[in-house]
Amino acid sequence: MLYTAYEIGHQALAPFRLFARAAAELYGSQLNPARDSWASRANIAALKVYESATRRYGKPEWELPFTEVNGVQVPVEIDTVIEKPFGSLLHFVRDEKALADAGVKGPQPRVLIVAPMSGHYATLLRGTVQAMLPGHDVYITDWADARTVPAFNGRFDLNDYIDYLIEFIRHIGPGAHTMAVCQPGPPLLAAVSLMSAWDDPTVPRSMTIMGSPIDARKSPTVTNLLAQQRGFEWFERNMIQTVPAPNAGMTRRVYPGFLQLFSFMSMNAERHSSAMWDYFENLVKGDDDSVERHERFYDEYLSVCDMTSEFYLQTIHDVFQEYLLPRGLMTHRGEFVDPSKITKCALLTVEGELDDISGIGQTQAAHELCTGLKPTERVDYIQEGVGHYGVFNGSRWRNIIQPKIADFIAERFDAKAEKAFREAPRQQAAE
C-alpha cells in the first residue's frame, strides 16, 4: 500500500510541477520587465526548489564522452558487452588511435569496478570511473532498477549477484583487476574465493575493497545498529513493498529506492535542509556555479532504484545480522565460501576515517579472512578526513586514494601477459 500511495502522490503532483516550470519560465522571460527584481528571482528560486523536491529523478547519463591522457583528449564510447535482466556489464572503450597519440604504448590493466546495488545507479561512481579511465581499461557493473524488470524474469538474490560477478570476471578474462565500492565487498570476496577454490584460470590478479561491510560487527554505525536491533521479520514486514502499475515490474516485491533515500537523508537531515536553503539563496543571488554544483550532486543523489526483496533481505540476514562471511558460515549454492583459498589475487582495502556507513575495521576484516595470501599481497589504507562518499569520489579520491590504487595495480600488472591475452583472439580468428 505504501508504494501505491507513493505512486499516486507522484502522479497527483504532476500538474503542480508543470505549473511550477511554466511559472518559472514566465517570471524569467525577457518579456517580464521585472524579471531582474528580487521578487521575481525569489519566485523563480522557490518554484525551482519545489520542482526539484517533488519530481522523480530518472537514471542519470554517464556524461563521460572523453578522458584526458597526457594532455590529449581521448574519445570514450560505452559498450554493453553483457546484458542480463538484473544487470549489465559495461565497457568504457577508449579510442586506440587517440591513446597512441597520447603516448600510450601497449595495453593497460583491465579493471572491473563493481558498483553497489544499494539504492543508487552505477552512475554514482562517475567520479570513480573518471579517475580510473586515463590509465586503465575500465569495465563496470550496471545494476537494473528492480521496478523495471518484469516479474516473469524471476528472482534475484545474493547468490545470483555472485553468479553475475563470476560471469563478468570470466568474460573480461585472466589477469584482470577488480574494485568493489561499499556494498559489493562481501559478494566480490565470495566470488573470488569460489573461483580460487575451483582453480579458475580467470581469477583476478587483484581486488580492491573500499568502505565495505566485510565484518559489520566492527565499529558498528547507525546503519549496523539498526540491523542488530530489529529482527529479520521487522525488515520483511516494514521495508518490503509491491511494485504497482504502471511500472514494468508491477507485482514484484522490492525494497523501494525511495525508502532507502529517506533513510540516508534522515541520517543527515540538517545538512540536506541547509543545502536546499543554500540552493534557494544562490538561485536568488544568481550564483550559477554554486547552483550547478548543487544540481549535479542532487540529480545523482536523488536518483534511486529498487532492489529485489530477496536480495535485500538476504543481505540483511547474511551480512548485517548473522555475519556469515567473517564467521566462516557463508555458502553459495551449497558450497562453503572460504577466503583462505585465495592465493593468487592480491588484496587492497581502503577505508575512510569518518565513514558513518561502514565503520573502521569492517573492510580491514578481509585481511583476517584471506590467510592464504602472502603479507606482501595484502595492503590496507585508511584515508584521513573523509567519510563514506569521499572514499570513492572527490578531491582526496582523485589526488590520494586513486593513485595508491593505480600503483597497487601497476605493481601486479604483467604487460607481456596482457599483450598475449589481447592478441590471442585475433590469432585464433586468423587461423
Q: What is the CATH number of the domain that holds 178?
A: 3.40.50.1820
pLDDT above 70 coverage of the chain, percent: 98
Q: Give me the sheet containing 253-255, strands edge to edge.
A: 241-242, 253-255, 307-308
**One domain, residues 289 and 327:** no
Beta-carbon neighbour count of residue 210 at 10 Å? 28
Strand partners, 94: 76
Burial 98-126 (b: 16+ CB within 10 A, else e): bbeebebeebbbbbbbbbbbbbbbbbbbb
C-alpha cell of residue 247? 511500472
Over the stretch 273-293, which tens digit does the pLDDT of each residue have? 888 888 888 888 888 888 888
Answer yes or no: is 198 within a domain. Answer: yes
Q: Are residues 77 and 125 in the same domain?
A: yes
What domain range includes position 20? 2-56+257-301
106 or 190: which leads in pLDDT: 190
Q: In this predicted structure, what is the pLDDT of residue 68?
A: 95
pLDDT of residue 322: 97
- Would you say residue 310 has pLDDT above 70? yes
pLDDT of residue 222: 86
Distance (Å, rounded) from C-alpha 80 to C-alpha 171?
A: 12
Residues 6+ apart with CB under 8 A from 114: 140, 141, 165, 178, 179, 180, 181, 184, 187, 188
User: CA-to-CA distance for 291 and 302, rounded, in angstroms?
Assistant: 16
121-159 pLDDT, tens digit each: 999 999 999 999 999 999 999 999 999 999 999 999 999
pLDDT given for residue 119 in this prediction: 85
CA dihedral 59, 63, 69, 74 (to 10 degrees): 120
Last-in-domain residue among 277, 301, 325: 301
> With bands split at pLDDT 50, 70 and 90, how would you rate the model's confidence at 112?
very high
Helix (H) or strand (E) holding 241: strand 241-242
- pLDDT of the residue at 283: 84
Residue 402 reports pLDDT greater than 90: yes
The cell for 4 is 501505491
Other C-beta atoms closer than 10 Å to the C-beta of 96 total 10
The pLDDT assigned to 164 comes to 98
Mean pLDDT of 295-308: 86
The answer to whether residues 135 and 190 belong to one domain is: yes
Residue 427 has pLDDT above 70, yes or no: no
Contact between 197 and 205 (Cβ < 8 Å): no
Nearest alpha carbon to residue 351 among 370, 337, 329, 366: 366
pLDDT at 235 over 80: yes
At residue 428, the pLDDT reads: 44
Amino acid type, 149: V
- Cα 320 to Cα 225: distance, rounded to the nearest angstrom: 9
What strands, in cross-sheet order, belong to the sheet with 378-383?
66-69, 72-84, 87-94, 137-143, 110-114, 177-181, 206-210, 346-352, 378-383
Does the pLDDT of residue 431 top 70, yes or no? Answer: no
Mean pLDDT, the chain, integer = 91
At residue 425, the pLDDT reads 64
**Distances, alpha carbon 207 to alpha carbons 178, 179, 373, in Å:** 5, 6, 12
Which residues are CB-contacts of 335 (< 8 A; sequence separation ≥ 6)? 194, 197
> Is residue 245 in a domain?
no
Domain for residue 364, yes or no? yes
Confidence label for 70 from pLDDT (cuts 50, 70 and 90): very high
Q: Which residue has the cell 523536491?
A: 53
Please tell me whether residues 313 and 297 are part of one structural domain: no
Kindly report, residue by residue over 15-59, the tens digit of the pLDDT. Answer: 877 877 777 777 777 777 777 778 777 888 888 888 877 777 788
Question: Are 107 and 32 found together in one domain?
Answer: no
Q: Yes or no: say if 9 and 47 are a contact pair by the CB < 8 Å rule.
A: no
Q: Tell whether 263 and 330 lie within a shared domain.
A: no
Question: Given a cut of 70, is residue 430 above it in pLDDT?
Answer: no
